[in-house]
Amino acid sequence: MSKTVLVSGGAGFIGSHVTVELSQAGYDVVIADNMSNCDETNYKGVCAILGKTLPLIKMDFCDEAAVKALFAKYRFDALIHFAAFKAVGESVAEPLMYYKNNLDSFLNILQAAREHGTNVLFSSSATVYGEPDETPVTEQSPRKPATSPYGNTKQMCEDFLRDCVAAYGMHGIALCYFNPIGAHPSALIGELPRGVPNNLVPFITQTAIGKRECLSIFGNDYPTPDGTCLRDYIDIVDLAKAHVCAVTRMVEGKMDEPYEIFNIGTGRPVSVLELVNSFQKVNALKLNYRFAPRREGDVTAVWADPSLAEKKLGWKATRTVEETLASAWAWEKRLAGK
């Protein structure tokens, strides 16, 4: 009998790609999303890719009664929690909004998961490692004090999950993403930032399509080979497949410890300038960019050691950064109707 997975925030960028991979791996998926940061574009894309309509429950995970009702209606073998605010700068300006939303929602989910014996997968971020003393970053690398309320909520939610697992006999995995980019090869789902994008790749594609005039590369005086920051850009479909491996590990009872953390990245550092050059080359176009001052809060270099995920989850990144950048461009063109 197939297993059922709840994907909170399943209409968003990462959630929609994960829903596709889970469904294609044979899981039944229930999407729940309050649609506060997205429209139905990705949800419709998911249904088009899969050729079927998945349940979409419009609800807010901060609403405890709604969470209880959801768990009373379905029996979930596992849940993946994406539903959260994610803009670093906004979290600095509106910390209470971030703490209330990101923490309350996860507490309600943990309560329900405890009552129903549901396996929990939490979507965490490399932001928990801050400016690392050593690269690549392993799961044993020390977590640094968070540099934003957003980062703080990721650390706190990891701790909530760890403590609940220890106290209540639950099982949980935190996946720590580096920089997810790209879009599904069908170009039917992808990243849809509202307003001016904060992240690099949507800013690049929007500049290339003419929605933005010029990309600012924040800082070219970092102590790196070309002076721009180094990151670990992980393809969104590769990233989504890591969730299938992690969910399967939980529901099949194959975990070594009841709470596990895995870094999900490629293990390859790429500079901002290299990424821009690859984008231009693979898509045969010229991007309007300039060097600008450093952006506050940016770390110089961070990339993953993904060997634990390979060993234990049997997962590793497969797509090249060029393929991923081509997919991001195909998605932007499709959005523009080109």
The set of catalytic residues is: 150
User: Which of 43-51, 143-151, 158-166, 327-335 is the region at the interface with ligand UD1 (rule: CB under 6 A)?
Assistant: 143-151
Q: Retrieve residue 216's tokens.
A: 């600012």
Quote the Cα angle for 18-266-299, to 5°: 100
- Please select the residue that binds ligand UD1; options are 12, 132, 151, 269, rule is CB under 6 A: 151
Q: Of how many residues is the chain composed?
A: 338
SS3 for 306? coil
Among 17-25, 57-65, 164-172, 196-204, the segment contacting ligand UD1 (CB under 6 A): 196-204
Question: Does residue number 298 form part of the binding site for ligand UD1 (CB under 6 A)?
Answer: yes
Stretch that binds ligand UD1, among 4-12, 41-49, 75-83, 295-303 (CB under 6 A): 295-303
CB–CB of 201/182 below 8 Å?
A: yes
Per CB under 6 A, does 174 bind ligand UD1? no
100-139 residues in contact with ligand UD1 (CB under 6 A) are 125, 127
* x/- track of binding to ligand UD1 for residues 20-59 (CB under 6 A): ----------------------------------------
Return the SS3 of 285.
Answer: coil
Amino acid of residue 79: L
Identified binder of ligand UD1 from the candidate list 203, 259, 315, 329, rule CB under 6 A:
203
Q: Does 88 bind ligand UD1 (CB under 6 A)?
A: yes
Cα distance between residue 59 and residue 9, in whole Å: 10
DSSP code of 124? E
295 binds ligand UD1 (CB under 6 A): yes
Q: Say how far apart CA 179 and CA 151 lie, in whole Å.
A: 14
Distances (CA, A) of 178 to 10, 89, 138, 202, 305: 19, 18, 12, 16, 10
- Site residues for ligand UD1 per CB under 6 A: 86, 88, 125, 127, 147-148, 151, 179, 198-200, 203, 215-218, 229, 231, 272, 295, 297-298
